[in-house]
Amino acid sequence: MPHGSVGIIYKRQHEPARLEAEKLETWFRKKNIEVFSEEMEAGKASLIPDSVNWVVVLGGDGTLLGASRKVGRYGAPILGVNLGSLGFLTGIPLDDLYPVIEMMINDRLEVETRVMLETRVIREEEEVLRFQVLNDVVINKRTLARIIDLDVTINDEFLTTFRADGLIISTPTGSTAYNLAAGGPILYPTMETFVLTPICPFTLTNRPIIIPNTAAIEVRMGNESEETVILTFDGQVGFDLFFGDRVIISKSKEKIKLLRPLDHSYFKILRTKLMWGGVTYNKDGDH
């Protein structure tokens, strides 16, 4: 009888990732651990059973985001191993793979819980889409659209009409992704609040807003919107919205469990990824 089971998801169309997955598969089998290994593929359901004890992701943050949408609801903790430079979610370098895996199967890694967002689209009183994301939901104008108006309510109270290129609703996990490029703040990753950041707002006093996890955010296209808009999940999956659609975004019941080495430091990743170490210039200064 095997000592537990593990899922492996590796980066799509990436030869080194596939080879590492094979080696890792062999390693697990030697330890008498059952393995279910598959390439990340967006449109396809995962064949990994929901009974696995762990999931190992070999790739970058993008692969882990995809994997979390597939197997996040299983409840099995996920280990993100990066084949290139470290990611926010994939903080284990390839060099540390086997020592960390040893720790994983011996229960010596920390589990960090991350909140997800659930999006529902209601069209003519019917739910036409339900989707979970770990990073962000983006509502965007089409490239050639003149402008869009987005009416936003929070817990049924009118917030405002955003006249902008679009709107990002991000988890703390997603706050260091697209949200940051659009001028949003960083949210400490284990928090359970969300940030709503307009993209290039035409009303110059609009600002990112942090809202509590009890909020249900509803977005509708405003009266002056002439065209369809696009809903994008984690920057990976798109969906066309029509006039009259109601998009309702709230905290998901499911959470993602990420595995972390005990010496893991979020702030260190932040300093590295955002290059905070470097004093870029100075005011008057002799450096």
Nearest-10 crossing angle of helices 15-30, 97-105: 40
Q: How far is the CB of 125 from its own copies (least distance, A)?
A: 26
Residue among 33 and 195 whose Cβ is closer to its own copies: 195
C-beta separation of 264 from 96 below 8 A: no
We find the least distance from the C-beta atom of residue 92 to its own copies, in angstroms, to be 15
Q: Which is nearer to its own copies, 33 or 70 (CB)?
A: 70
Phi then psi for residue 284, to 5 deg, are -140, 20
Rounded least distance, CB 12 to its own copies, Å:
8
Give the nearer residue to its own copies in terms of CB position, either 59 or 77.
59
218 token code pair = 């509803």
Candidates 50, 61, 136, 263; catalytic one? 61
Q: Cα separation of 275 and 272, whole Å? A: 5
Measured CA distances, 251 to 176, 214, 254 (Å): 18, 7, 8
Rounded to 10 degrees, what is the CA torsion of 158, 161, 164, 170?
Answer: 10
CA-nearest of 81, 32, 76 to 53 is 76
Closer residue to its own copies, CB minimum distance, 11 or 257: 11
**Which is closer to its own copies, CB of 119 or CB of 140?**
140
96 is catalytic: no
Alpha-carbon gap, residue 161 to 157, rounded angstroms: 12
CB 191, min distance to its own copies, A: 5
User: Smallest Cα–Cα separation from 48: which of 252, 103, 40?
Assistant: 40
Q: How far is the CB of 185 from its own copies (least distance, A)?
A: 4
Closer by beta carbon to its own copies, 124 or else 157: 157
DSSP assigned state of 165: S
Q: How far is the CB of 99 from its own copies (least distance, A)?
A: 23
Q: Which of 208, 217, 214 is nearest to 193 (CA)?
A: 214
Residues forming a β-bridge with 132: 118
Q: Which two tokens stand for residue 122?
A: 């209601």
Residues annotated catalytic, as ranges: 61
